[in-house]
């Protein structure tokens, strides 16, 4: 029996851009025994403020609400909320180095509109793919685990519509 896949949740937090803020937030999430799927942080429009997108897998609405309440207790957190999947854009980027024959590579290039970063001898390709996580996961499935050399993923970043 395969384990049930939990719902992916996104939390958007605006925080003061101060040393230790990220550690404080990640420590709180760890203490609550939640496993962070992805975490991305960048500067926000306002000076001294960072924009943090946290994704985790959790089916229990109350637990997600509890995380947000806990985040909002920190003086460094300006605002936090859950992102509604239907009312926001979720994207990530992956750079993938893999070995695949040219015929198969051409099919994938067309299907996924890959950005080619480099092609090396012996059918080794380095590409960038961007979009929803599901699109990247499908691409990786199509390439096949036996063909990967290296993968780097940014993690999800999200924005309200």
Is 1 contained in some domain?
A: no
Domain boundary among 83, 107, 132: 83
Q: Within 13 A of 149's CA, how many CA atoms are on the CB side? A: 13
- Distance between CA 143 and CA 148 in Å, rounded? 8
Whether 117 and 144 share a structural domain:
yes
Task: Answer whether 160's CB lies under 8 Å from 83's CB.
Answer: yes
- Residue at which a domain ends, from 56, 83, 110: 83
Task: State yes or no: pLDDT of 97 exceeds 90.
Answer: yes
Q: Is residue 2 part of a domain?
A: no
- For tokens 């924005």, the residue is 159
Q: 70 and 96: one domain? A: no
CA neighbor of 147 nearest in space, from 94, 105, 107, 103: 105
45 with 72, same domain: the answer is: yes
Is 65 among the domain residues?
yes
* Residue 108 covered by a domain: yes
Q: Per residue in 133-148, pLDDT tens?
A: 999 999 999 999 999 9
Residues 118 and 78 in one domain: no
At 56, which CATH number? Answer: 3.30.70.260
> 3 in a domain, yes or no?
no
DSSP helix/strand/coil, 107:
helix
CB 129 within 8 A of CB 115: yes
pLDDT tier for residue 2 given thresholds of 50, 70 and 90 = low
Burial 47-83 (b: 16+ CB within 10 A, else e): eeebbbbbbbebeeeeebeebbebbeebebbeebebb
Question: How many distinct structural domains can be found in the chain?
Answer: 2
* Domain closes at, from 83, 101, 132: 83
Q: Going by C-beta distance under 8 Å and a sequence separation of 6 or more, which residues neighbour residue 143?
A: 96, 98, 100, 108
What is the per-residue pLDDT across 33-92, written as a single tens digit (0 to 9) for each?
777 889 999 999 999 999 999 998 888 888 889 999 999 999 999 999 999 989 999 999
Beta-bridge partners for 43:
50
- Residues 98, 36 share a domain: no
CATH number at residue 116: 3.30.70.1150
Whether this prediction's pTM lies above 0.85 is answered by no
Would you say residue 4 has pLDDT above 70? Answer: no
Domain that includes residue 30, residue range: 8-83
Share of the chain above pLDDT 70, in %: 98
Residues 45 and 68 reside in one and the same domain:
yes
């Amino acid at each position: 029996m395969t384990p049930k896949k939990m719902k992916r949740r996104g939390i958007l937090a605006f925080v003061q851009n101060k040393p230790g803020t990220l550690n404080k937030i990640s420590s709180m999430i760890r203490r609550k025994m939640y496993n962070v799927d992805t975490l991305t942080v960048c500067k926000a429009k306002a000076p001294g403020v960072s924009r943090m997108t946290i994704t985790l897998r959790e089916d229990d609405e109350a637990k997600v609400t509890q995380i947000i309440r806990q985040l909002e207790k920190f003086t460094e957190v300006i605002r936090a909320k859950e992102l509604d999947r239907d009312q926001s854009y979720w994207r990530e980027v992956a750079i993938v180095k893999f070995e695949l024959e040219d015929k198969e590579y051409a099919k994938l290039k067309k299907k996924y509109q890959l950005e080619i970063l480099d092609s090396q001898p012996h059918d080794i390709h380095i590409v960038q793919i961007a979009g929803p996580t599901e699109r990247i996961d499908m691409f990786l499935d199509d390439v096949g685990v036996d063909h990967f050399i290296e993968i780097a993923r940014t993690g999800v970043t999200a924005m309200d519509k």
